[in-house]
Amino acid sequence: MKAFLLPQHRPDPGALLIFATGTLLCLGLVMVASASMDVAQAQFANPFYFFQRHLVYVCIGLLVAFLVWQLPLAMLERLSIHALMLSLLCLVLVLVPHVGRRINGSIRWLGIGPLTVQPSELAKLASVLYLSGYLVRRQDEIRETWSGLIKALMVLGVAGFLLMMEPDFGATIVIMLTAAGMLWLAGTGRKQTVASGLFLMGAGVILAFSRSYRVQRMIAYIHPWDHPFDQGYQLTQSLIAFGRGGWTGLGLGNSVQKLFYLPEAHTDFVFAVFAEEFGLVGVTLVVLVFLTLVLSGLYIGYAAEKKGQLFGAYLAYGLSVLIGVQTAMNLGVTAGALPTKGLTLPLVSYGGSSLLVELVMMALILRVHRETQTQPGKST
């Protein structure tokens, strides 16, 4: 047993990350096809409409991820502030009339010809890049003073404000929780960590009750069966899917809830369809795959930190935490443990912008792993 735990016998975290990513991509292709065939047939007279588009997104995402994987971390560190500025510009543009596109009551998309881009996905990645560079530049200030923490939160607060103008409450929460996790992993003082955590919790509560529709979602979340045909409709249909799945599920393609009962069955609520078709056994296996992905990324960050490659360490930490937070929130929403939010399941749900950015995140973590293995360590 001790021999197995020695470094030379441990599985390579990069290989585990690739395995987990590939597994989730394949699962996403299967589940997008399964969850969307009837809707696609009704809307476009092509049962594979969403599957074909999703397959194209996967291929483009893999190509972009491969190109990003070639970029040195030193270059990314220099460009981190520019990436944040670009993402903030996109968040501003999406609010400009006749520029941003309104879908389902929210203005979250920019139209580029026939394509739509969701700037909030870019903001997630850019926020982690910026904060990784900031933690390197202001390492002592972050750990020893309040000013370093306040400056970081103020910059990210601008992104949060713009996201709330769309509104996109889910993306705002993901960014803020990711930032809190990165600050804690970077060694922020205990007082600063507790204070920032309390501040973020308080801000989240205030935002949650600042709009009537969010209050209605909270009520529907607490008592979904009291509102089964209005505010609680999506959640009750998702819970029915989980209940029908039982231990081993109904089998691939046999979901009933995807037949025009469960809205967004191939996007935000694809995991509910998966739970219905594969049951508790399948749900457990997928959760383990996500856990493997997140822990592999965190281990890659830890290895980089041990070698003194701090930007790569914080980048791997941040991206791993972000994927973990968004996964937990999506699973929590579909299972009724959290109020409904518009968040996709990473690497699985249908969506062009989100899938592309998530594959870029995986490529960046693998780049950290590559440089940790090939470059000499730095003194800390």
The SS3 of residue 371 is: helix
**Alpha helix segments (H runs only) across the chain:** 2-5, 13-44, 49-69, 73-93, 119-137, 139-144, 146-165, 169-185, 190-208, 212-222, 233-245, 270-306, 310-334, 352-374
Q: How far is CA 292 from the centre of its chain?
A: 15
Nearest to 165 by CA among 267, 82, 90, 114: 90
For residue 161, give Cα distances in angstroms to 139, 166, 187.
26, 9, 27
Amino acid sitting at position 50: F
Relative to beta strand 106-112, strand 100-103 is antiparallel
CA dist., res. 64 & res. 68, Å (int): 6
CA dist., res. 320 & res. 292, Å (int): 11
CA dist., res. 63 & res. 108, Å (int): 25
The alpha carbons of the chain give a radius of gyration, in whole angstroms, of: 21
Provide φ and ψ at 107, rounded to 5°: -100, 90
CA dist., res. 152 & res. 168, Å (int): 21
Residue 9 confidence (pLDDT): 59
Provide φ and ψ at 99, rounded to 5°: -110, -55
Nearest to 184 by CA among 366, 325, 360, 345: 325
- The dihedral region occupied by 83, where left means phi > 0, alpha psi between -120 and 50, and beta the remainder, is alpha
Angle at CA 350, nearest 5°, toward 45 and 363?
140
Residue 286 confidence (pLDDT): 97
Nearest to 353 by CA among 92, 38, 94: 94
What number of residues does the chain have?
Answer: 380
Give me 289's structure tokens: 């795959």
Provide φ and ψ at 109, rounded to 5°: -125, 145
For 242-253, the DSSP string reads HHHHTTT-S-TT
Cβ within 8 Å of residue 342, ≥6 positions away = 104, 106, 168, 170, 268
The SS3 of residue 107 is: strand
Taking only the tens of pLDDT, the chain with its 380 residues reads 334 444 555 789 999 999 999 999 999 999 999 999 988 998 898 999 999 999 999 999 999 999 999 999 999 999 999 999 999 999 999 888 877 777 666 777 887 666 778 899 999 999 999 999 999 988 877 777 777 788 888 888 899 889 888 888 889 889 989 998 998 888 777 777 777 777 777 777 777 676 666 677 677 677 777 777 777 788 889 899 999 999 999 999 899 988 888 887 888 899 999 999 999 999 999 999 999 999 999 999 999 999 999 999 999 999 999 999 999 999 999 998 888 777 899 999 998 889 999 999 999 999 999 999 987 766 44
Residue 380 confidence (pLDDT): 47
For residue 75, count other CB atoms closer than 10 A to its CB.
9
SS (H, E, C) 295-329: HHHHHHHHHHHHCCCHHHHHHHHHHHHHHHHHHHH
